[in-house]
Amino acid sequence: MACRALRDAQRMASNYAEDLYVDLESWKKDHSEAMRCLDLEERLALLNGLLELVLRVRARYDSIVLAEALDYDSVIEQADRRIEEEFERISTSCREIDSRIKGFETQGFGVDGSTEFRVLRGRMDVIVAEAGRIASIEGRVGFRGVEMAPEAASHFREMLDAHVRSQIATTNQVQPAD
């Protein structure tokens, strides 16, 4: 009888050990994903700060009022083109990051900073879309060096500014689905 009790105890211990091992293995996967999510949150906090800085500098750059006519300068044109290319590159990277955030959210994780990131990403996308729209209007050479009546230039700038403000307002109102 002691032999039978010992055998039952061994079988129960073995089954319990297997169940415990399976639980630990599943915990390791969840723990690993949680650690990756935490790493993403920390990096996202830094990225949000950098995106905010870039957007503030861009807003300051866009608010510069020129007192005199701007002559065509190929160096300035190239610099503007490189700036627009960098915004496109940032926007593309942000789309990839957003898809990774969605991957964690699909698994049930809440990603701190994702709402702020999506608002900033939307603002970046507005800048890229606006640059593309203006490039399609201006063509390769652009309007630099073209003279317009001051009232027409002012009216044109007001239309562009109103469009950008409406795009930013629309982007800021869109909240991600939780």
Over the Cα atoms of the chain, what is R_g?
A: 28
Whole-angstrom distance, CA of residue 30 vs CA of residue 32 = 5
- Contact predicate 131/87, CB 8 Å: yes
Query: Quick one: how far is CA 17 from the chain centroid?
Result: 45
Is the pTM higher than 0.85? The answer reads no
Residue 115 and residue 76: Cα distance in Å, rounded? Answer: 35
Cα(152)–Cα(148) distance, rounded to whole angstroms? 6
User: Could you tell me which of 73, 77, 69 has the C-alpha nearest to residue 149?
Assistant: 69
Q: Cα(40)–Cα(114) distance, rounded to whole angstroms?
A: 10
Instruction: Give Cβ neighbours of residue 172 (< 8 Å, ≥ 6 apart).
Output: 119, 122, 123
Residue type, 75: V
pLDDT tens, residue order, the chain (178 aa): 677 777 777 778 777 777 777 766 665 667 788 889 999 999 999 999 999 999 999 888 878 777 776 666 778 778 888 888 999 999 999 999 999 999 999 999 999 999 999 999 999 999 999 888 877 776 655 555 566 677 877 787 788 788 878 877 776 765 555 4
DSSP 65: P
CB 44 within 8 A of CB 98: no
pLDDT at 93: 93
Rounded CA separation 111/51 (Å): 17
